[in-house]
Amino acid sequence: MLMGVVAPVAAQAAPVWAIECETGGGSDKCFASHHVLNNGASFLQIGVGYLGKNNEPIIVGRLPVDIALQNPMPVDADKQRLFNLVPVHCNAAACFASMVLTTKSLDLLKKSQTLTVAFSLFADPRVITATIPLADFRTAFESLKK
């Protein structure tokens, strides 16, 4: 689903947060998910859901394989820094970053208008900034079962 090479330009976000589920291991894992598009193809996916033994809220990013792994990715909600995501795993299709969300971060996501994720590719110092609308995030996230 993710492309290996992405032109370093401002990315266009699709207009909607949707519920996407992964099956396996005896239970479904569902996330409020949003795809950021480049030339009509998804190259950045952000998902927020409940995971782990304590069903904690977590954010997961699926990123291009040629991302600069040494650079943390700043994540802002309405221009307020939430945290830096750090890629923790890559395979042939994508790289992944995740972290548990604090109550404060989750509340800010629910009330904000935009989420901004910035990153760069390995061989290109220019920053790619993806601005994701959050207008329907709260409704999608709150529809998930804890």
Question: Could you report the per-residue pLDDT of 86-123, keeping only the tens digit for each?
Answer: 888 888 888 889 999 999 999 999 999 999 998 887 77
Fold designation for 12-142:
Immunoglobulin-like (2.60.40)
Q: What gap in Å lies between CA 6 and CA 77, rounded to an integer?
A: 24
Closest CA to 132 of 83, 75, 86: 75
Q: Phi-psi region for residue 108, left (φ > 0), alpha (ψ -120 to 50) or beta? A: alpha
pTM of the model: 0.82
Question: What pLDDT is stored for residue 10 in this prediction?
Answer: 47
CA distances from 103 to 56, 75, 99, 111, 132 (A): 10, 16, 13, 12, 20
When mean pLDDT is compared across 9-13, 91-95, 129-133, 135-139, the lowest value belongs to 9-13
Query: Is residue 11's pLDDT more than 80?
Result: no
Query: Is residue 130's pLDDT more than 70?
Result: yes
